[in-house]
Structure 1
Amino acid sequence: MFLHVHPRSQNLTFNFSEPSGEMLGHCGDMMAGIMAWASLSALSSLVGCPACVAVLWELYRRHKAGTPISPNDVFMLNLTIMDLVFLLFVPFGLCNFLLWNMRTVQLLSNFLYALNLAGRPLLTACICLDCFLAVVYPVTYHSRKSLTPRFLMAAAAWTITAAQGIASTAVEELNHSAWAMFVYVIALPIIITCDVFILKNLKKSLRAGGDLHPTKKKALQIITNSIVMTVISYVPPVLAYILGDLIISDDQVYECFLAIPILILPTAGSVIMPLLYLRNLGNLKAPCCLV
């Protein structure tokens, strides 16, 4: 489906190729997980789409005002476009899963969810790597201001994401293998390593006294957002894939109370990041948005 968790048997496939009636029937009276996933996914789309549009508008407004395009803007633009396309499709995917059961929409769902499950962690890794270079190697970073490497990194992220989506659609068996976690194996080590080194560097700067440089303050905001995203959206799917068999032994309980409900966490990432970005700009001050 959206998140390809390792199946326990040939009957548990967890992808949109399964008829919705069979999926609902398999869970029987254990519908709480499915309904929670569907409801929260719909809410994510409702909240996330306007947030993504607001981020795109902010990037456009700053560019029109003459503000130079920063490396972070390049990655945020690509990440927000991915999130917006993904969130716009979520209601159609839900309707197809629960009501329509159209094969074409099922295949499109498998492809587009790669934007959330592959593209998002890859672009987050790009953002963290760029911040790492800015904080740890500031002289070298500022002496090489060309955006070309950043565009190439974003293009590589799109290429890997498209490959993941095409492979997941064309060869469904890959969804039930280690291939499902391939992107996380690339992205998570980069994200975690960069976050740790940046936080250590910022800690040294604070110990030295004085205020943080504006670049380091911005990096701290970005890394804080990255940590939130990692804890909420990236680590739980990996843990579910690796530890699912050890946590729950019953196939039906595993599917209905773990595998399906946990799908909402990667989806929530497409809402949380634009809200955090807008909050950092001072455009969101409501307590409900201080994730």
Structure 2
Amino acid sequence: MERNASSLLNSTFLPTQLPFSATSGPNATVKPFSVFDGCDHQVEGILFDLTLQCINVVLGIPANILVIAILIHNRKEPSTSDIFLGCLAFMDAYFGTMTPVSFLNLYVWQSKGVWSAIKFSYGVKDTSGPLFLSCICLDRFVAVLFPVLFGQLKHIKYRLSLSIVVLCLTFAYSAAKVVGGLPNFEKVFTGEVLATFLWMVVCNLSILWALKKSRGTGKGEMHPVKKKAFKTVLSILCIIVFNYLPPVALFPFENYYTPDVFRCYVQPVGFAFLNLSSTIQPLVYLSRLEKVPFLSDACVKKCFLCVSAKDKKTPPAENPPAEA
């Protein structure tokens, strides 16, 4: 969206500030930049978003780098979704590195050029996350519900082509976000997040239904591989609901809020949940792995104590390598 929650922190301190409508009209006076963009006395939502972005710096960046290293380590035996996961992890790590840059620009550099780079990173986050998650959901949807078609489309060239399309859409959206001034541009993100959210929910529910329906006879136990896939898809569905439901539930009702309330509270809170996905997604992926390369078992136990304890209780036959 044109006014990303984090775009509220977008410039230098200035002693005066024009009213909200100061920029309306072709000959209107340009509104001066302000650190809180008119929310100087309503900073709670902004601080909430910044707190979660700090979590991305502390946990998200190392986790995403580790995911990329694991995908490279397992490149000889890749899963079909690895290229989507790698792109998503790279974009999330890039987004996390821009948070300290944003702080430095706010209080040290105060550069409009740097701010344009920061704004570009918000466009990358707005677009790459939903689209690459949708690609992962599509890959698993075809694999579970249309296995014959999946076998015909298993070549990496199809996923590479789809990744290139997603990257082009991401960079086009981000560039337009930097330029600004496009009519109704903020509705692009609202439409995108609504469409991808509905697709991912329907897709994952269909997969869960198909896997649940395919229980074997006798004891009624699900096949170990399908059981693992069921848990994987269920975890993705939880991520989707937690990270994307707030903006989906709030942003379409922009006209019901006053401009100040929407800009200072609704947007920051909605984007805060979406931005936190940069940490949650890699941690969930790592928690599903039976063995995390490059890390000792003691380190893994400290990071994922509950998950590790649960996995160790499960027989090895029921824990094939995760097709994340």
TM interval, shorter chain, is: 0.7 to 0.9
More helix by share: 1
Mapping of residues 2-151 of structure 1, within 5 Å: 2-3=4-5, 10=21, 19-21=33-35, 23=37, 26-63=38-75, 66=76, 68-97=77-106, 100-151=109-160
Q: Distance in 2 between matches of 1:126 and 1:148?
A: 14
Q: Distance in 1 between matches of 2:221 and 2:267?
A: 48
Q: Distance in 2 between matches of 1:175 and 1:91?
A: 30
Q: What amino acid is aligned across from residue 262 of structure 1 in structure 2? A: G
- 8 Å CA contact 2:67–2:89 kept in 1: the answer is yes
2:207 — aligned with what? 198
Q: What amino acid is aligned across from residue 224 of structure 1 in structure 2? A: L
- Alignment deviations for residues 100-140 of structure 1 (CA, whole Å, 9 cap, x no partner): 44211221122111221101100000000110111111233
How far off is 1:162 after superposition? 0.7
How far off is 1:47 after superposition? 0.9
2:269 — aligned with what? 261
C-alpha spacing 1:22/1:2, structure 2 compared with 1 (3 Å) = closer
Q: TM-score, normalised by structure 1?
A: 0.83
User: What is the alpha-carbon root mean square deviation over aligned residues?
Assistant: 2.9
How far off is 1:11 after superposition? 6.1
How far off is 1:3 after superposition? 4.8
How far off is 1:289 after superposition? 10
C-alpha spacing 1:235/1:89, structure 2 compared with 1 (3 Å) = same
List alignment gaps of at least 5 residues for structure 2.
8-19, 25-30, 293-302, 310-324
Give me the identity figure in percent. 24
Question: For 2:246, which of 236, 240, 255 is the aligned residue?
Answer: 236
45-54 vs 143-152, which moves further:
143-152
* Greater length-normalized contact order (CA 8 Å, ≥ 6 residues apart): 1
How far off is 1:27 after superposition? 2.5
- 8 Å CA contact 2:48–2:268 kept in 1: the answer is no
How far off is 1:22 after superposition? 5.4
Q: TM-score, normalised by structure 2?
A: 0.75
List alignment gaps of at least 5 residues for structure 1.
none
C-alpha spacing 1:72/1:47, structure 2 compared with 1 (3 Å) = same
2:179 — aligned with what? 170
C-alpha spacing 1:261/1:185, structure 2 compared with 1 (3 Å) = closer
- Between the two proteins, the alignment pairs up a number of residues equal to 276
Q: Distance in 2 between matches of 1:190 and 1:29?
A: 38
C-alpha spacing 1:33/1:144, structure 2 compared with 1 (3 Å) = closer
